[in-house]
Amino acid sequence: MREEEKIFAGKLFDARTKELRDIKHKAHTLCQKFNTIDEYDEDRLSIIKEFIGNIGEKYYFQGPIQFNYGSHTFIGENFFSNFNLTVMDDARIYIGDNVMFGPRVSVFTAGHPIDADVRITGLEFGKEIKIGNNVWIGGNTVITQGVKIGDNVIIGAASVVTKDIEDNVIAVGNPCKILRKITEKDKIYWNKKKEEYFQD
């Protein structure tokens, strides 16, 4: 079994093997290239498609960005990320449509053995992360391995998401917990604000 297959099978793997280093090197090199190009350069955003697993046609990364593998991340339509996105996509990451990340969001699928004797061998493991549609992730948030975030969710700034978050809620904190449901009252209020904007 190849090392990459071990990751997806939930087994321990060695990230130092040439097989995995070569995949990561491609992403690291292209992220570095992206980060050095002016944000108004029309060729900048197309670099993402050279290393990402898949992404919709409409997306924007402010940069700088850092993906570990890139090819293990799959992003839907209309994605936005602010400054300093870090994605440790050892295992796969699935991000839905209309997802927005604030500055300094970190997404970590990688984990390390609790036992020190095993850990110092360099072996590690990964658990995939899933983020639903219409999600806003506030700045300085950390999303940890194995987490599933539902649809229509807001994660407050500086949260650490260690457990699944259900659909249609606002969740905040370290560890991240549900604050409240998003309701019809919220929809009415914000649509009124949008109407006021377009009337000015």
What contacts 67, CB < 8 A, 6 or more positions away? 27, 28, 31, 51, 52, 73, 87, 89
Q: Classify residue 96 as exposed, middle or buried by CB count within 10 Å of its CB (0-12, 13-18, 19+).
A: buried
Number of continuous H segments (helices) and E segments (strands) in the chain: 4, 19
Question: What are the residue ranges of helices labelled H in the chain?
Answer: 3-8, 18-36, 116-119, 184-199
Q: Which of 25, 28, 72, 112 is catalytic?
A: 112
With 0-12 / 13-18 / 19 or more C-beta atoms within 10 angstroms meaning exposed / middle / buried, residue 2 is exposed
List the one residue out of 59, 69, 31 whose CA is nearest residue 47. 31
Query: DSSP assignment, residue 49?
Result: G
Tokens for 154?
């807001």
Active site residue 112: yes
Q: Which residues are catalytic?
A: 112
